[in-house]
């Protein structure tokens, strides 16, 4: 949970000096923030020199600075209206041209201009602090998004966003006097205790570094590391040019909108910003920012039901306005409500998020207490109940259950099992911490084979099984992935004894009331050439549904010697692995 430090006197003055510390603590609790403590900002213990340390919800990026928090509280208390964030009328957009090489490092860039800004030391500090908070939180420590801000009057558009070799980039970094190239920047900040040091690895090993130039070829910033001294913002700056580079298209837009909405109130025309046109290598042009409210539709019945209150549509609309949400009744008879979500609220994704804001506006302490009107009895999910039946039957047959890891290496998923990766099956981890855990397993077999490998000191035979999930890609699912519950058993001894494994499969099928026959409702083995098994010693396990449809549940056979060598096993192995979900 992010924590911000707010000047106590400034905030209380903004709120009309109607609160003392305890009163503000209560207000914060009702609004959904928490006053952690109040402390003196320096050594001088003066009432006017105190600051409040406040905990903010991690998804409320609009509350990470004095401007956002004070404005949100003012709206909540009815002291002000939600601002009309907009593009300044008649403003000619600045332009950023993106080179194709940027796709190698940070492909996205957005921008905007704050015109006629009046900065004070307090506002300047808040502006920098918000960027730091966004970098640490939303921007994932600059890995996804990095912010650059510049004095527009010191540079000239149009601007270019390029990716060049480090030795070709030369500029004086912020607050320095030495002219450096890209390599020198890495060396300089890597050799000293600098806040930039922890970001160096983001581009350190890249063949090209991202860089922003103005029309005169002056370097403005080297994202995601540091801006140029040339375009440095000072208290005298009146026009601020913002460029934000990223690897995440969604988060770069959110970051820009948060930064603009928080500080556009200081512009000559409050809450109006000037746009920037971004032209990509393929000729595509996008104008930023997009400050248009998103519209979401809901009903009074849904919101009342979620919160546990009974408010009319008009009352709900009035309550939502306290949370900076402009709402209107669309159909009074049906209780339909449309809600306009301002660019400050990217945290609202579904109707339930609106219900949460309604509960805050209504007051959690004001929600009537009521007993649960629906009595329920806990029961296992059908799949888990089937899982227990399968595990019990195999264990009662004298086999030992194992519980192996759901992650494995790429080789264990494919090469070690003599399988070919077509790119459409395995769910791959983006940044695995170890070569052992690169992908979600596609089979239970590698885990059991490794289990035997690590227990060679035990006496033969090994009779092991596992009933658990495998994971594979499924683009038709919302997550793009799908779990499948499987049962896998293997037998290892001085000989493979395929009949032992086949006998266990028959025992399991009998317990599930699936006889060994080719007719409806039965199952049978169908010869198949499966690379995991010895040629001529493998088969598909086929179930025949009541309507005559055939379903391949899995496979059975004697493991190929090459696989035994891959897993460093000394004795033959026979196994089967089947999908048990069709038995539901």
Tell me 379's DSSP state. -
Sign of CA pseudo-dihedral 152, 154, 159, 161: negative
232 Cβ contact list (under 8 Å, min separation 6): 150, 151, 154, 174, 175
The pair of structure tokens assigned to 253 is 């837009």
Cis-peptide into 514, omega within 30 deg: no
Tell me 173's DSSP state. B
3-state secondary structure of 526: strand
Cis-peptide into 224, omega within 30 deg: yes
How deeply is 366 buried, as exposed, middle or buried, from its count of CB atoms within 10 A (0-12, 13-18, 19+)? exposed
CB 194 within 8 A of CB 185: no
Query: What backbone torsions phi and psi does residue 233 show, to the nearest 5 degrees?
Result: -85, 135
Cα distance between residue 306 and residue 364, in whole Å: 13
CB 566 within 8 A of CB 578: no
Owner of token pair 């929600």: 367
Sign of CA pseudo-dihedral 185, 190, 195, 201: positive
Cα distance between residue 446 and residue 450, in whole Å: 6
pTM confidence score: 0.70
Dihedral-angle region of residue 197 (phi above 0 means left; psi in -120 to 50 means alpha; beta otherwise)? alpha
Cα distance between residue 402 and residue 404, in whole Å: 6
From residue 536, give the alpha-carbon distance in Å to each of 504, 525, 552, 563, 575: 20, 13, 18, 16, 15
N- to C-terminal Cα separation, the chain = 43
Nearest by Cα to 337 from 302, 293, 298: 298
pLDDT score of 236: 92
pLDDT score of 44: 65
H/E stretch holding 31 reads: helix 21-31
Nearest by Cα to 326 from 294, 350, 355: 294
Cα distance between residue 566 and residue 419, in whole Å: 13
For each successive 10 residues of the chain (584 residues), what is the average pLDDT?
86 85 88 86 72 88 91 91 90 90 91 93 92 90 93 92 92 91 89 83 91 93 92 93 93 94 92 93 91 92 91 92 91 89 92 93 89 80 94 96 95 94 91 90 96 93 96 91 96 93 95 92 94 94 92 96 95 96 92
β-partners of residue 326 are: 340
pLDDT score of 390: 96
Alpha helices in 530-576 (DSSP H): 561-566
Owner of token pair 């500090």: 125
pLDDT score of 382: 93
pLDDT score of 376: 80
Alpha helices in 406-497 (DSSP H): 410-413, 445-453
β-partners of residue 574 are: 491, 558
β-partners of residue 362 are: none
Nearest by Cα to 147 from 239, 248, 245, 288: 245
pLDDT score of 91: 77
Nearest by Cα to 201 from 142, 255, 132: 142
* Calculated CA dihedral for residues 429, 431, 435, 438, nearest 10 degrees: 0
Nearest by Cα to 106 from 252, 304, 305, 2: 252
pLDDT score of 154: 94
């Amino acid at each position: 949970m992010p924590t911000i430090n707010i000047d106590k006197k400034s905030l209380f003055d903004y709120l009309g000096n109607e609160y003392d510390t305890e009163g503000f603590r209560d207000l914060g609790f009702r609004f959904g923030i928490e006053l952690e403590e109040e402390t003196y900002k320096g050594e001088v213990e003066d009432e006017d020199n105190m600051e409040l340390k406040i905990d903010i919800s991690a998804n409320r990026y609009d509350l990470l600075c004095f401007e956002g928090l004070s404005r949100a509280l003012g709206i909540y208390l009815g002291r002000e209206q939600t601002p009309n964030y907009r593009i300044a009328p008649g403003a000619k957009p600045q332009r950023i041209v993106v080179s194709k090489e940027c796709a190698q490092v940070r492909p996205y860039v957005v921008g905007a201009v704050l015109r006629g800004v009046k900065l004070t030391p307090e506002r300047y500090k808040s502006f920098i602090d918000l960027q730091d908070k966004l970098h640490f939180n939303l921007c994932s420590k600059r890995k996804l998004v990095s912010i650059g801000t510049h004095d527009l009057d010191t540079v000239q558009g149009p601007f270019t966003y390029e990716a060049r070799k480090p030795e070709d980039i030369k500029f004086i970094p912020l607050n320095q006097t030495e002219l450096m190239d890209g390599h020198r920047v890495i060396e300089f900040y890597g050799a000293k205790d600098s806040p930039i040091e922890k970001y160096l690895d983001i581009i350190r090993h890249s063949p090209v570094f991202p860089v922003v130039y103005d029309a005169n070829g002056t370097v403005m910033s080297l994202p995601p590391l540091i801006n140029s001294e040339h375009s440095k913002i000072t208290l005298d700056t009146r026009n601020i040019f913002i460029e934000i580079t990223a690897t995440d298209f969604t988060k770069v837009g959110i970051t820009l909108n948060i930064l603009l909405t928080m500080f556009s109130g200081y512009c000559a025309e409050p809450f109006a910003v000037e746009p920037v046109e971004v032209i990509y290598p393929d000729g595509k042009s996008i104008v930023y920012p997009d400050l248009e409210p998103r519209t979401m539709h809901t009903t009074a019945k849904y919101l009342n039901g979620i919160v546990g209150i009974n408010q009319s549509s008009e009352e709900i609309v009035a309550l939502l306005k306290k949370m900076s949400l402009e709402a209107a009744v669309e159909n009074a008879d049906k209780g339909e409500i449309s809600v306009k979500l301002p660019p400050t609220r990217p945290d609202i994704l579904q109707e339930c998020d609106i219900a949460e804001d309604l509960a805050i506006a209504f007051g959690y302490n004001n929600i009537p207490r009521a007993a649960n009107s629906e009595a329920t009895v806990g029961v296992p999910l059908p799949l888990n109940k089937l899982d227990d039946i399968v595990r019990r039957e195999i264990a009662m047959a004298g086999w030992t259950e194992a519980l192996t890891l759901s992650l494995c290496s790429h080789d264990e998923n494919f090469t070690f099992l003599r399988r070919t990766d077509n790119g459409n099956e395995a769910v791959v981890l983006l940044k695995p911490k170890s070569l052992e855990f690169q992908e979600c397993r596609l089979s239970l077999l590698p885990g059991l084979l490794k289990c035997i490998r690590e227990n060679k000191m035990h006496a033969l035979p090994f009779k092991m099984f596992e009933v658990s999930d495998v994971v594979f890609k499924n683009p038709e699912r919302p997550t793009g992935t799908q779990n499948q519950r499987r049962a896998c058993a293997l037998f290892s001894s001085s000989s493979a004894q395929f009949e032992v494994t086949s006998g266990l499969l028959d025992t399991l099928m009998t317990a599930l009331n699936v006889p060994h026959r080719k007719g409806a409702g039965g199952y049978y083995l169908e010869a198949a050439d499966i690379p995991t098994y010895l040629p001529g010693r493998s088969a598909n396990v086929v179930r025949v549904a009541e309507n005559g449809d055939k379903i391949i549940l899995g496979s059975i056979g004697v493991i190929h010697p090459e696989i035994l060598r891959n897993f460093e096993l000394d004795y033959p192995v026979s196994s089967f692995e089947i999908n048990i979900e069709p038995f539901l």
